[in-house]
Structure formats: C-alpha cells, structure tokens
Structure 1
C-alpha cells in the first residue's frame, strides 16, 4: 500500500506542478567572442575562454561545406545551426568527395595542378569568406586541413599528395593565413589511422600549424572506433582528445572503451566524441537487417558521451555531411536531401543538452557512477551520472528503474529531484521535500525513446 501511495503521489506531482520549458531556438550569436580565445581549463578537463567563461563544444559535421555549397546555401545552413544552438561546424578544406579535382560551387579547385605547394587563391578566399560568415553568427569552424584520403587513400578518392615534408610546408602556410581569425579550432586528421606509416605526416602537419599558430586549439579526427589519444596524446600540438565512436555501436561499451579511457589518461587532457552515430545513417551500413539511426540514437550517444566526462559533443547527419541533393550520388546509402534533413528531430534535441550543461557548475564536474548502486551492467541500458558542487545529472537511456545513493551530492542536507525530458527540454520538480541517503527512482516512462535526465540539487537549508 505504501508503494502504491508513493506512485499516486508521483502522478499527482506531475499533474499539478507546471513544467519549466526550455526555449527550442537560440537567440542571438551562438558564442560571444568577446570572452577571448579558447583555452584548456586549469584542471585540464574542459574548454574555456581566456576570461574563464566556459565553452561548450557542440559540433555538427558539415565536411563538404566549403566544397559543395554556394553562398546562399552556406548562409541557410549556418543560420539553421545557429538557431539550434550549435557552437562548432566541422568542415574540410581539401574535401573527401573528389575534393582535389571536382571544383566548388564557383568552379574553383583548391590546388593548381593538384600541387600542394601551389594553393589556388580563389578557392581559399572562399574558405575565408565562409569562416567569416560563421563568425558573424557566433560559430566556430572546426577546420580540417585535409581529409585523410589525401594522406592514406584506402576507400577514398585521393590521390595521396602528402608526405611529412609537404605536410609541414602546407601547415605553415595555413597557420599564417588563419592564425588571426577569431573562430577556428584546428582538427588534424580526417577519418584515418594515426599510426604506422601515417604517423609522421600527421605529426608534421599538427606540429607545423601549432608552432606558427598559438592562438587556436587543436585536436585530431581519427578513424572509426578510435581516439586521437592512441597516437598523439603526448604530442605538444594536441590540446584535447577527439574520438570517433562510429556508426555501428548502439551500446555504452564504445564510450567505456574510448571516452572513459581518455578521461582517465595521464597527463590529463579534455576529451570528447567528435563523430558518433549519425542521424538517418544505416546502422553499420545494414539497413535491411539493422535499421537506421534516429533521434533516440542521437540522444543516447550525446548524453552517454557528456555524462562520461566529455568537454563537448558532435552531432552528425548522414545526409548533411555530404550535402546530398538531387543530381549527386549518395554515399553510404544516404537517402535524404540535406536541406530537409537539417530539421530532423535529433538536430532539435541538442539544444536541450547544451542548456542543461551550461546551467550548472562547469569545470568542476566529474563522472559519478558511484551514485548508482543498483545493478547497472547492461551496456544497452547503461545509466550514467555526473556531478558537480551541489548537484548531479543522471541519464536513463530507456527509462530504467534504479537505486541511487544521493549522499555524495547532498552531504547530509538532502536533495531536490527534477526530471528533464531530453526530447523537449521540459523540467518538472517531482519531489519538493528534501530526500537523503538511498532512494529508489522510477522515471516517468520507460522503453525505447523514453530517455530521461534526473537532476538532483542539494536542498537549501
């Protein structure tokens, strides 16, 4: 009977207490560059501006941005992403899809006669313009000098035009051109293995840029289910680690393998997932048997990543990275027009994660799995927690029941509970009396697509 009354009380609370709705669009510039250049926080865990203001890396993969879009299309794309709360657009100068031979929307290729030491000024002026367009909207460009097929062809178009010497010369030229731009984060690599025969070329490219440009942070975009830390963790040019959890996993295990591992590495460096499962991507390229990633997958990947200690997260859509539209051959079974796919459900959900993460103490938060004391071994249903001073955030990927120990949060004062709906950002206070010690928690709903974030706040005496 006691449990029944508790359940009825919970329902009553939900019925009577109004939801606090977060806005679903971002007003004004996404980032205020007046806070100064980006740096690694003092505790080496997160990214901050020069004046100490926290920076939340919320990226989108627009790999073909410079290569395939015209000015009107770039404006539409950037405005859509600004309004949805993104802070970083990841784009490639020497693009993947025959980026050396197939010209951009204005008929220009990046290199004269595919000579890396003879850049085409008209093409780079276009790159300059796009970066400035992003700056006007408060967006950083996660700038990749090249896609990986120009270093190591594998499945790409290529051709391979880099070696360590050319990489160093190209890196110096790029750094001198862009070191005074306000809104750049360098991303070395490009979906490729960083070791073996590739190591010296990537190391030369990263080193040459960093020696010349000390104004911007740099990371490395690796091949699938890998992290930059595997090869470059101790490289002076690598400011934070980037993983690619890839397009096959629907399990927390990949975050344990990559993000948790990177978080615990010494020396400490910030870490994040720079390419997770893309929305509208066939699961492991097997749509007939495994289906397609959707907004549920987007949210699970995002919160699993963030609550494991990441400094940020990158969203991706299979149709958008390649800017697929009528007349272009789809890559990897892509099936949607990029303009329509801009407004897929998962792209709307990321703003709620940003608002949540920016609402609480930033640089002092730590992963807090010790809060979850019931069995939590199923990687498909993994509950993850993070906490800071006087609060904790706990993610339930499918509305799982669990038992929590709130004492690390409350320190004897008890906690107030709130539920946040990751699908719309609504927050509901479900228990006003402060609760202490061990508590049993049942999310408002359960099953696939019924993910929830529990917010625990230390009660005010």
Structure 2
C-alpha cells in the first residue's frame, strides 16, 4: 500500500513538473510570417500565438536573477512574449532607477546616443539570450519615446538635448542593428506612446533607418499615440508602410469613437489583409480606472473577441490598486491576480484549438438571430476554422437565445461545449443536429463561450492542451 502511494505521489509531482512544458512547447526561433501573412510560425512552421505581457522596464528594473524568476512566472501563466524597452526612461512609471540598470548608465556620455555603454548592453545581451532559452519572444523598443509634452516620460526630450543630435541617433540605430541582427527571438517596435512628430521625427527616423541598415530581417510594429488617432501601427502617416505586423494600441475603448467598439475596428483592419495583434491593452487596476482596466468582463470581452476577429496575438499586464506590474516593486503577487487567472483560461482555450485557422464570421448565414446589433457591446463575435473543424462564439451577455443554421456552419454533426471564461472550465452539451434552425441558450446571464467541434474529430474538451 505504501509503495502504491509513493508511485501515485511521484506521478503527481511529475505531472506538475511537466505541465508548464505542455502549455509552452519549445519554440524554434526565429519566427517568421506564415505563408498567408496572417500569423507567425517558427522554423518548424509551428504556429506561434503571441501571448504578450507588457513589461516596459523589465530590462533595467530587475537584477538578472529576478528577471529570470519573472520570466519563469510568466511562462507558468501561459505567456510566451514580453514587450520591453532596450532603453527605458520614465522614473515615475517604471521600476528601478531608469535609465540605469543596477546603477549602470546605458550611455557613457549623458544623453549622447552615440556613446553606448558596453557594460549595460552586455546585460541586454544576456537578457535576450535568457529569454530565448526560456522560449520568450521579445517585442523590443530600441528606445522608448514616451508621451510628448511630459518631460518625465521617455526619451523624447533627452534626445533633443545639446549632447545629442539626429546623426548620433543614426549611429545608435546602427549600433543596435549591427549588435542584434542575429538575435533570434526579437522583433522591433517603433515609437512608444509617441508619434515622433515635428522635430522628433528626424531623431526617431534616423534611429530606425540606422537599425535597418544592418538588420533587414527582423519584423517591425509600432506603438504610437492613440490620443492623436494612431491606434493601429499602420495608421502612422510616415512609418505605417514599414510595419510588418499591424498592432492595435487602445487603453480605453471610448477613444475609438465611430471606429469602435474594439471588435469593429479589428474586423475592419483584418479585412485589409495584414497580420493584426492586440499590441498593448488591459492593464489590470491601472490608472485611469476605466472599465477597460477594472471590469473583468471588459478585459475578457476584448481579448476573446480580438482572437475571434483575426488577431493572432493578444496582451495583458497584471496589477493591484497602487501596484502595477511595470513598477516592478512588488511583482510576485501580481502573478496570481484574478486577471492573470482569467487570461490563462483564454490562452488555454485558443491553444486547444487550431487558432491559426480561425476566420472571423462576418456573415449572417450561420447566426440567424440573437447576435445583437453590430456596433453595440453585446454583439456576438464568432469565427470558423478554415478546415471546418471548429466554430467558436463569444457571447458577452447570456440573457438571450441564439439561433443558428447548422447546415451553413459545416453541414456535419457538431459536438458542443460551453466554456466558462471566468473559471476556464468546459461543460459538454451534446451533439448538434444538422438543422436549418438550432437554438442555444447560455447557462446564465454572464458572458460565455460556446465551442462547436466536428464530432468525427473527437477533439479534447476546450481548454485541455494536447497540441
């Protein structure tokens, strides 16, 4: 009896040790665009869903030991990507003492970008290598510009100091491009809450062109100033045409005006044909305390809808009141927040299905009624796999009956599961007959996901990772 108990305990321990490996399969970097340019694949052509944690000051905020622990924690929560700055300079918002790392300045001469400090960049090298070994893709800003007009934010004003000029920014870009052109697990992000307008343009443009002089392989996206209408990377009038991945940066949905709600602009951008991602969104309990950061249903809604509307990547940043993750002052409790648990459930659902094959259902052929009004927050977003294996719907409010044409869905019997985005649990319903009108009613008035799978494929329950 005792030996049997030991065997059982050993099995439990082994499962717990192996589980992170199952949820985060080894990635063969570098990544590249898929054949249809809609998502990323690794060197083995394995699809890579961007699951990004916004960690702006990570490179300069923590010791290398804590950086490793931070990445390990994110990995256990299903993340495979971090967005961070090679050079951070926002003392009021980023942890540590930016722009310094452990007291080491990134520049040998203050604000002179042509004088990179080898000691600082040796740390950057080690961080990127460590991230690669842990399976992390790094979306890196060569320099974070910061909100224009606020001297405490970013480098936009320091770049224009008497110690620097546009030619020195070109030299810095060349240094970055030459140094990291062979780094396998990165892509570049332009901007950083800033459109680089006016005289700032020459500084940012020279830096970007310097990078591209030596580094012609890495992909680019952009993080610009949504307050001035640049919500997608390709919206930028001067940098937009160099964006390989079109990133959406919206920290409050209300700013979208007639382009919103968020699913509306995602569908419009998806129809343009470029790979789209949710670049930087949903900062749990962050200022301003709008619904985008405080209402978990809003956080869930935007994430699930985005992944059904063609986004092949999404993002999150956890926090408590007064303790946002980008401060890096007390980050360990932020690995187990309500938001982190619910985001992991979302990751697991989509990773358990062929997410790369999902195509937004923009017709009225399958959902006959109960979908809601397009342009309203309770509208039901849905997507169907291109091989007819799966059809998924996110229902923002469960107080309705939805009627579907199962003949138009796939024309085959479809096994059904409710998936609870609060808890990450699945509830099997049964098999839907091939009817012209088939009704479903969610189990409660809260938000729900329903997953239809080809019954012949015998796929695992939603959220159970076997891929």
TM-score by length of 2: 0.80
Q: How does 1:93-108 map to 2 (within 5 A)?
A: 93-98=86-91, 102=98, 104-108=100-104
Specify the alignment match of 1:145 in structure 2: 142
Describe the shift of the 1:425–1:292 C-alpha distance in structure 2 as closer, same or farther (beyond 3 A). Answer: closer
Specify the alignment match of 2:447 in structure 1: 451
Specify the alignment match of 1:14 in structure 2: none
1:128 aligns with 2:125: yes
After TM superposition, the structure 1 stretch with the greater mean CA deviation from structure 2, 378-387 or 209-218, is 209-218
Describe the shift of the 1:116–1:28 C-alpha distance in structure 2 as closer, same or farther (beyond 3 A). Answer: farther
Is the Cα contact below 8 Å between 1:152 and 1:198 reproduced in 2? no
Specify the alignment match of 1:460 in structure 2: 456
1:33 aligns with 2:40: no
Corresponding residue SS for 2:51: strand
Is the Cα contact below 8 Å between 2:301 and 2:396 reproduced in 1? yes
Deviation at 1:195, TM superposition (A): 5.3
Specify the alignment match of 2:294 in structure 1: 293
The CA distance in 1 between the partners of 2:271 and 2:201, in whole Å, is 23
Relative contact order: is structure 1 or structure 2 higher (C-alpha 8 Å, sep ≥ 6)?
1
Q: What value does the CA root-mean-square deviation take over the aligned residues?
A: 3.2
Residue deviations 1:132-176, cap 9 Å, x none?
222221111111111123987566264340665444332221111
Q: How does 1:204-219 map to 2 (within 5 A)?
A: 204-219=206-221
Specify the alignment match of 1:60 in structure 2: 53
Specify the alignment match of 1:372 in structure 2: 367
Task: Determine which of 220, 231, 239 is the counterpart of 2:236.
Answer: 231
Deviation at 1:351, TM superposition (A): 2.8
The runs of 5 or more residues in structure 2 that have no matched partner are 1-16, 458-467
Describe the shift of the 1:303–1:203 C-alpha distance in structure 2 as closer, same or farther (beyond 3 A). Answer: farther
Count of aligned pairs between the two proteins: 418
Residue deviations 1:224-262, cap 9 Å, x none?
361111126985642111111213549992424542232
Specify the alignment match of 1:338 in structure 2: 331
After TM superposition, the structure 1 stretch with the greater mean CA deviation from structure 2, 436-445 or 55-64, is 436-445
Specify the alignment match of 1:323 in structure 2: 327
Residue deviations 1:396-435, cap 9 Å, x none?
123242233333431x223221111223332222023534
Describe the shift of the 1:29–1:362 C-alpha distance in structure 2 as closer, same or farther (beyond 3 A). Answer: closer
The CA distance in 2 between the partners of 1:210 and 1:53, in whole Å, is 27
Specify the alignment match of 1:161 in structure 2: 159
Specify the alignment match of 1:48 in structure 2: 41
Specify the alignment match of 2:462 in structure 1: none
Corresponding residue SS for 2:21: coil
TM-score by length of 1: 0.81
Deviation at 1:129, TM superposition (A): 1.7
Residue deviations 1:23-60, cap 9 Å, x none?
996326835233x4211111121111233210100000
The runs of 5 or more residues in structure 1 that have no matched partner are 1-22, 326-336
1:114 aligns with 2:111: yes
Deviation at 1:122, TM superposition (A): 1.2
